[in-house]
Amino acid sequence: MKQLLDINTWKRKDHFHFFNQFEEPFFGVCVNVDCTKAYATAREKGYSFFLYYLHKAMVAMNAIEPFRYRIVGEQVWIYDKIDPSPTINRPDGTFGFAYFEYHADFETFEAIARIITEQVQNSTGLVPAVSGENVVHCSSLPWINFTSLSHARSFSFKDSCPKVSFGKMTTADGISTMPVSLHVHHALMDGYHAGQFFEYFQQQLDS
């Protein structure tokens, strides 16, 4: 379900019209998150660490309203729920696109996501995911402890979906950290909202 946002009464009306004119309206930040507790929990309970932190990220994004905004034509719609569309790495070095329906309950989310993950890993090609505006583009680069990241973009394709990428976990002095890159459409949100995401995401990882 979705509802229309009244741009004329929106406090960010001017910001929307200003940034929505840009050829590249996305901005990005890269932050190291503490995943010590999350990794320990995933190992203890036999969870997929990737699915565990992906779910935590989606909990945070679904809780922060601007992450559920999407631009369609000249209008902004607010989705009730957004779902992750992650890249799934294969043993042969390729990857495929997947689509996981978001569920607030992690075990429900993981059970379905594991089935889809296996399907993608046993296939070839990109495996086009379910298309839609209410997705978050997600990727994992578990080989790279990156400090910045950019994305391939087709500027002729109007896209307003957030993009989040997770890097290599490293451990020092008993603390495990992981770089997380977030790119969002500046017509829909600002650095304040990106900060809210990382704060809430960290709380979820620590819970």
| pLDDT confidence bin for 130, thresholds 50/70/90 | low
Predicted confidence (pLDDT) per residue in 141-178, tens digit? 999 999 999 999 888 888 999 999 999 999 999 999 99
CB 78 within 8 A of CB 65: yes
Q: What share of the chain has pLDDT > 90, as a percent?
A: 92
186 is known as an active-site residue: yes
| pLDDT at res. 168 | 98
Rounded (10°) CA dihedral 177, 194, 100, 140: -40
Kindly state the average pLDDT of the residues 134-144.
96
| pLDDT confidence bin for 111, thresholds 50/70/90 | very high
Tokens 């503490």 sit at which residue?
A: 34
Predicted confidence (pLDDT) per residue in 35-93, tens digit? 999 999 999 999 999 999 999 999 999 999 999 999 999 999 999 999 999 999 999 99
| pLDDT at res. 133 | 83
Predicted confidence (pLDDT) per residue in 27-42, tens digit? 999 999 999 999 999 9
- For the chain, give the secondary structure using H, E and C: CEEEECHHHCCCHHHHHHHCCCCCCEEEEEEEEECHHHHHHHHHHCCCHHHHHHHHHHHHHHHCHHHHEEEECCEEEEECCCEEEEEEECCCCCEEECCCCCCCCHHHHHHHHHHHHHHHHCCCCCCCCCCCCCEEEEEECCCCCCCCCCCCCCCCCCCCCCEEEECCCEEECCEEEEEEEEEEECCCCCHHHHHHHHHHHHHHHHC
- The answer, yes or no, to whether residue 131 has pLDDT greater than 90, is no
| pLDDT confidence bin for 129, thresholds 50/70/90 | low
| pLDDT at res. 128 | 64
Token reading at 82: 């957004």
Q: Which residues contact 204 (CB under 8 A, 6 or more apart)?
A: 56, 57, 59, 60
Listed residue (119, 101, 2, 25) closest to 58, CA to CA: 101
Residue in 55, 183, 185, 186 annotated catalytic: 186
Name the pairing type of β-strands 163-166 and 135-140.
parallel
Q: Which CATH class is domain 2-206?
A: alpha beta
